Structure formats: structure tokens, C-alpha cells
Amino acid sequence: MEMFIQTLVSGILIGGIYALIGIGMTLIMGVMKIINLAHGQLMMVAMYITFVCHQYLGLDPYFALFIAMPCLFVLGAAIQKYLLNPLLKVDSILPENQVLMTVGIGMVLTEVMRFIFHSDYRSIETGYSSTAFYLGGISFNLPMFVAFGIALLLTLGLFLFLLKTDVGKSVRATAQNMDAAMILGINAHWITILTYGLGSALVAAAGTLLLPIYYLFPDIGGPFTLKAFVITMLGGMGSTVGAIVGGVVLGVAESLGATYIAMSLKDAVAMVIFLLVLIFLPGGLKKLTKV
């Protein structure tokens, strides 16, 4: 029983970070209808920013959130404004050439970081990296627990923003129907820039929170892009609640799979769930949550 609970706890905790990674992608997917395949690489950039802040300025990674998130917001907005939006005007055989562009952006980000920081593994040592507290023999990793909490707070903030503010409503309107939104006087062009910036800032938060428990090298982005993609599909494209549920489901599925089947098959377990959702719940968990 203890084994089961411990597995569940680690699954949920890691799921919180997954959710934060997925939510940015789902936001971008909802508004622009494209898969942002540079998502993991953006996270990697944020991790390097956090690393530099910690290593050279001595900033605590949690404080570095306030630097990494704005930086990535600007980077994301710039990518949307100068690299992705111009593509909309170009006729091409593939309507998805924005997606291809994001693949390219991801590669450039990886190689730029390799150029600056080399391929070395980097990690930051904080006093609390492997601190844990125990409840009845079950260990809760402190940085993971904090990350989970911050992920919840950020998601809540995003929710309030989308539901209560005018700009947030414009984002939702653009996501629902871009043409109609434009007719009603919403500057959809500006909304796309804002959305990509927001999505990048959210994944930056995930990267910063992940760094104390994980490590960093230029090629780290790829696997996380894949994770974000799975979560987005699992949750239902464009659904923020779906992304949270999707992230936690993925985390728990991976953990249970690792404990009860085999650790090397944990990705396979996640993929089986992914397929089951696609077959029986096309449109993702959004169908259940209706948000």
C-alpha cells in the first residue's frame, strides 16, 4: 500500500509540472491552431536563464521566475511577431508552414545555446534540491511540491485572466473564431503575439521550477516538446482545464506504469493511454470537463 501511495504522490507531483508545460502549448494551439514544436526548446532557454541567474547573480531559482518569465514572454512575442505572423501572408502549398517554422526555431534555439554553453550538463545545487518531508512514511520532495503549488497558482492566475479581463476575453474570442473576433474589432494580430508570449512565459515557469530537481543541456527540449504535445492532445486542443487534467493523468500513468509494469515502459504506458483517449474520447478530456 505504501508503495502505491508513494507512486501516486510522485505521479501527481510530476503531473503538476507536466500540466504547466502543456498549458502553454494548449493556449497557443487554441488561438493559432498550430502545434508549437519549439515549446520544449523555449523551456530549455528559460532553464538557461535561470541557470545563469543562479550561477552568476546568486539568485534563487524561485526568484529567477521573475526574470525568466518576462524574458521568455518577450522572446515568444518576438518570435510570433517577426517569424510566425509574416508567414500567414505567404501563400504556400502547406498551410501548416508555421508549424514547420517552429521546428526550425527549436533547432536554432538549441544550437545557439550549445554555442554559448557547450554541451556540458549543467545543474544548480540549492540547499533544498533533495529535501523531502515525510507524511506517514511517504516522502514528498520539497521542490516538486513547491513547483506543484506554483503551477496551481499560475494556472489559477491564467484562468482569472481569461475569464475576467477584457484582454482575456479577447483571447478566448480569437480562439473561438478569429474572423468573427476581427469583425467585432479585436486586434487578432496583437492577440496572437500576446498568446505566444504568454505560452512561452508559462513554459518558462515550468523550466525554472524543474531546474532544481532536474538538469540541463542544450538537447533537453525535444522530449519535453513531445510531452507537451501528448498533454495537449490528451486534454483536448485549446482546453486549459484539459491540459491540467492531461498533465496529471500523464504523470500518474507514467508513475504507475513505472512501478507496476517497468520503468522503461513508462512512456509506452503513457502512449497507450494517449491512444485510448484518441479512440474513445476524440477531442480529449475536454469532452468530459466541457471547458
121 counts as binding other proteins under rule CB under 8 A:
yes
Residues making up the chain, counted from first to last: 291
| Grid-cell match 547573480, residue found | 57
123 counts as binding other proteins under rule CB under 8 A:
yes
Contacts of 183 (CB under 8 A, 6+ apart): none
CB 193 within 8 A of CB 204: no
Helix residue ranges per DSSP H, 211-239 = 221-235
The cell numbers describing 149, all together, are 503549488
In the chain, the amino acid numbered 168 is G
CB 133 within 8 A of CB 141: no
CB 216 within 8 A of CB 48: yes
CB 261 within 8 A of CB 55: no
Helix (H, G, I), strand (E, B) or coil at 121: coil
Nearer to other proteins, 114 or 169 (CB): 114
Instruction: Return the range that interacts with other proteins (CB under 8 A); candidates 11-19, 50-58, 163-171, 188-196.
Output: 11-19
Closest separation in Å from C-beta 46 to other proteins: 16
Site residues (CB under 8 A) for other proteins, limited to 12-71:
13-14, 17
State which of residues 50, 80, 141, 240 lies at the interface with other proteins (CB under 8 A): 141
Nearer to other proteins, 7 or 200 (CB): 7
223 counts as binding other proteins under rule CB under 8 A:
yes
Q: How far apart are CA 227 and CA 236, in angstroms?
A: 14
Nearer to other proteins, 25 or 173 (CB): 25
State which of residues 1, 3, 90, 279 lies at the interface with other proteins (CB under 8 A): 3
215 counts as binding other proteins under rule CB under 8 A:
yes
State which of residues 83, 129, 169, 283 lies at the interface with other proteins (CB under 8 A): 129
CB 32 within 8 A of CB 221: no
Nearer to other proteins, 26 or 255 (CB): 255
Nearer to other proteins, 217 or 229 (CB): 217
214 counts as binding other proteins under rule CB under 8 A:
yes
120 counts as binding other proteins under rule CB under 8 A:
yes
118 counts as binding other proteins under rule CB under 8 A:
yes
213 counts as binding other proteins under rule CB under 8 A:
yes
The cell numbers describing 82, all together, are 517577426
102 counts as binding other proteins under rule CB under 8 A:
no
Site residues (CB under 8 A) for other proteins, limited to 249-268:
254-256, 258-259, 262-264, 266-267
Nearer to other proteins, 80 or 141 (CB): 141
Q: How far apart are CA 171 and CA 163, in angstroms?
A: 10
Q: How far apart are CA 191 and CA 108, in angstroms?
A: 25
Nearer to other proteins, 71 or 252 (CB): 252
Nearest to 208 by CA among 84, 4, 67: 67
The sign of the CA dihedral 103, 109, 112, 113 is: negative
Q: How many residues interact with other proteins (rule CB under 8 A)? A: 40
Nearest to 206 by CA among 181, 184, 231, 187: 231
Which residues lie across from 138 on neighbouring strands? 135
What is the binding site for other proteins (CB under 8 A)?
2-3, 6-7, 10-11, 13-14, 17, 114, 118-121, 123, 125, 129-130, 132, 139, 141, 144, 210, 213-215, 217-219, 223, 254-256, 258-259, 262-264, 266-267
